[in-house]
């Protein structure tokens, strides 16, 4: 429904507008937006080559899957938190439990047809997803990255510099900022 060039802020504004008249559809769009933001952030600042990350992220549909660690949290922590202090996905998002147990449950009920959702619950769920998305965008902005700009292709893995919150990393033994 939205292109990358539309921008995350504009997407959030449109989803909020839709929540006023059609909260159920807005929940679906907000959840898609939230997942897109997580994937985009991983692709922007992850350590692995972009092609490898894209391939791995194509099959990810869960925030947390305890059995095989093939989920957003595990990939985020491996690709992002490994190189920056205080950057585990749970830390960045704040109340991860509210997203997992609340918003994603509401999303699942809507998508899988397991009952109805009141307008109040729908609007509240949209806000949870949009606030979480905003936190991801702000996390990247504080580190000098714009989530809405074109991705740069990384052919080689970045080396984690363990440098906390700055963007410096090495590719092919050349420092970049």
Q: What is the 3-state secondary structure (H, E, C) of the chain?
A: CCCHHHCHHHHHHHHHHHHHHCHHHHHHHHHHHHHHHHHHHHHHHCCCCHHHHHHHHHCCCCCCCCCCCCCHHHHHHHHHHCCCCCCCHHHHHCCHHHHHHHHHHHHHHHHHCCCCCCHHHHHHHHHHHHHHHHHHHHHHHHCCCCCCCCCCCCCCCCECCCCCCCCCEEECCEEEC
The model carries a pTM of 0.82
Q: For 106-133, how does the pLDDT look when each residue is reduced to its tens digit (9 = 90+)?
A: 998 898 888 778 999 999 999 999 999 9
pLDDT over 50 at 97, yes or no: yes
């Amino acid at each position: 429904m939205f292109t990358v060039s539309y921008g995350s802020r504009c997407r959030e504004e449109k989803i909020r507008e839709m929540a006023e008249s059609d909260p159920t559809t807005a929940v679906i769009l907000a959840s898609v937006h939230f997942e897109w933001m997580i994937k985009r952030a991983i692709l922007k600042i992850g350590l692995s080559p972009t092609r490898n990350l894209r391939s791995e992220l194509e099959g990810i549909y869960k925030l947390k899957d305890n059995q095989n660690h093939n989920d957003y949290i595990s990939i985020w922590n491996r690709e992002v938190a490994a190189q920056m202090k205080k950057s585990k996905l749970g830390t960045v998002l704040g109340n991860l439990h509210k997203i997992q147990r609340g918003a994603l449950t509401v999303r699942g009920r809507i998508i899988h047809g397991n009952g109805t959702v009141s307008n109040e619950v729908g609007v509240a769920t949209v806000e949870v997803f949009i606030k979480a998305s905003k936190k991801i965008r702000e996390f990247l902005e504080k580190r000098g990255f714009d989530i809405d700009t074109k991705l740069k292709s990384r052919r080689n893995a970045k080396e984690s510099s363990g440098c906390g919150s700055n963007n410096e990393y090495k590719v092919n033994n050349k420092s970049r900022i």
